[in-house]
Amino acid sequence: MNVFYWTVAGTASGLIIVGLWGVLTRKNILRIGLAFTIADTGVNLLLVWSGYLPGRTTPILNGDVPAAEAVSAVVDPLPQALVLTSIVIGVAVAALFVVVAVLASRRLGTADIRRMKELKW
Amino acid sequence: MIRTLFVLLVLLVLAAAATSVIPHLKMRTELDGAGLEYARRGLEDTGSINLVTAVIVAYRGLDTLGEVVVLFSAATSVMLILSLFPLGRGPTDPSFIVAHTARVLPAPIMLLAVYFTTHSHLSPGGGFPGGTIMASAFLLVMLGSSSTPAGSKILPALEALSGTTFGLLGLWGTMTLGQFLNNRVIGIGNPGYLVSAGIIPLVSLAIGVKVASEFSGIFAAFRKSGGNR
């Protein structure tokens, strides 16, 4: 039973739940965007967590980790490389969200989604 | 009231689904699949002692090129939307603290960014974090002044130049070794030294400059969209 392992998994799941709760309950459009990025952080943390191996070190083969022992000494480098893609897509989505949110709130004079009637029917 | 109950229900179902997989989770104790191959052959293949960078820039370099394209299209859409629909509220004067911090901090921030970008094959870092830190120095300079940046041609030029460099470095591998973004085109040198790992440092530098110019372009577009005071 590795406490650190389960703590990270719990934190990641908690961030995702908190982010979804924010998306579903907040009324200010910018806060909804913020909640999306919180859920995004949880997903990224979960991805990195999936590559964790107990008692191992970072996948950098400097003097502390001889190249010959790499297979038994480092954590999985693949999820760490993949999470970079996830982070970059998250930033791109957040940037577009902020632009549309700021423009919508400036045009309608409010950031409250209950008063944005254009997309409702 | 009904809405709150519905939200709670959705979250509870999600939490229950997440908890139900816990008994089936097994902590991995050994490397397997692609990760095992990267750990076994990464240093020998690429000469980069940082295996994560070896995966990002050499093994999965094509994915990274796709990522740069995603970032590029996001930045372009932001600039396009902001130029079509101006925000129409000019910048306010920076506070005393911001104005004075903006004179001192950009240089050390830039130094950190250059270190991250050029040492990507030796230590944690790489083009994406390095470029983001570079753009944060630009943002600080912009926040520290009350004027709107003039229409600069340098940012788009840098962006085009670094993007082209990335593509050409990849094509170089196709021409000589028959493999896109093969980093051995100039030899991998002595692993662990600054000049080593073939074209990985060059590609990282190109990614860093591209990311920095894209983020700086987004910040400048927001500022310009507000117009002058």
| Position A108 in a domain | yes
The amino acid present at A102, given as its one-letter code, is V
Spatial separation of the C-alpha atoms in residues B216 and B176, rounded to whole Å: 35
Whether B13 is in a domain gets the answer no
Amino acid identity of B84? Answer: L
With respect to residue B152, please indicate whether it lies within any of the assigned structural domains: yes
Residue A92, chain B, CB below 8 Å: the answer is yes
Instruction: Output the CA torsion B95→B215→A98→B79 (10° steps).
Output: 110
In this prediction the ipTM stands at 0.81
Of B35, B75, B87, the CB nearest to A102: B87
Q: Residue B100: inside a domain, yes or no?
A: yes
Whole-angstrom distance, CA of residue B125 vs CA of residue B139? 20
Note whether B37 and A59 are within 8 A (CB).
Answer: no
- pLDDT average per 10 residues of sequence, chain B (229 residues): 84 85 78 82 81 86 88 89 79 82 91 90 86 90 76 80 87 81 78 80 90 87 72
Question: How far apart are the C-alpha atoms of B203 and B117, rounded to whole Å?
Answer: 10
State how far the Cα of B228 lies from the Cα of B225, in Å rounded to an integer: 9
User: Could you tell me the residue range of the domain that residue B208 belongs to?
Assistant: 50-225
Which pLDDT value is given to residue B227? Answer: 64
Is residue A39 one of the residues assigned to a domain? Answer: yes
pLDDT computed for residue A38 by the predictor? 94
pLDDT at A37: 93
Residue B140 CB burial class (10 angstroms; 0-12, 13-18, ≥19)? middle
Cβ contact B152:B227 at 8 Å:
no
A76 lies within 8 A of chain B by CB: yes
Task: Return the residue in B30, B55, B139 with the most chain A beta carbons within 10 A, the one to mutate for interface testing.
Answer: B55
Contact status, residue A94 vs residue A36, Cβ threshold 8 Å: yes
Q: Would B23 be classed as within a structural domain?
A: no
Q: Does the residue B180 lie in any domain?
A: yes
pLDDT of the residue at B150: 64
A77–B192: do the CB atoms touch at under 8 Å?
no
**Cβ pair A96:B60 closer than 8 A:** no
Q: Which residue of A has its CA nearest to B28?
A: A53
Q: How far is A94 from chain B (nearest CA, A)?
A: 10
Residues 6+ apart with CB under 8 A from B165: B202, B206
CATH number of domain containing A100: 1.10.287.3510
Count: domains in chain B: 1
Please check whether residue A57 touches B, CB under 8 A.
no
Q: Is residue B211 part of a domain?
A: yes
Q: What is the 3-state secondary structure (H, E, C) of chain B?
A: CHHHHHHHHHHHHHHHHHHHCHHHCCCCCCCCHHHHHHHHHHHHHHCCCEHHHHHHHHHCHHHHHHHHHHHHHHHHHHHHHHHHCCCCCCCCCCCHHHHHHHHHCHHHHHHHHHHHHHCCCCCCCCHHHHHHHHHHHHHHHHHCCCCCCCCCCHHHHHHHHHHHHHHHHHHHHHHHHCCCCCHHHHCCECCCCCCECCCHHHHHHHHHHHHHHHHHHHHHHHHHHCCCC
Which residues does chain A have within 8 Å of residue B38's beta carbon, measured at their own beta carbons? 59, 77-78
pLDDT of residue B111: 93
Q: Over the stretch A34-79, which tens digit does the pLDDT of each residue have?
A: 999 999 999 999 888 888 888 888 888 877 777 777 777 888 888 8
Q: Which domain holds residue A33?
A: 3-115
CA distance A17 to chain B (A): 7
pLDDT of residue A35: 93
- Let me know if residue A121 belongs to a domain: no
* Predicted local confidence at residue A1, as pLDDT: 59
- Number of structural domains (chain A) is 1
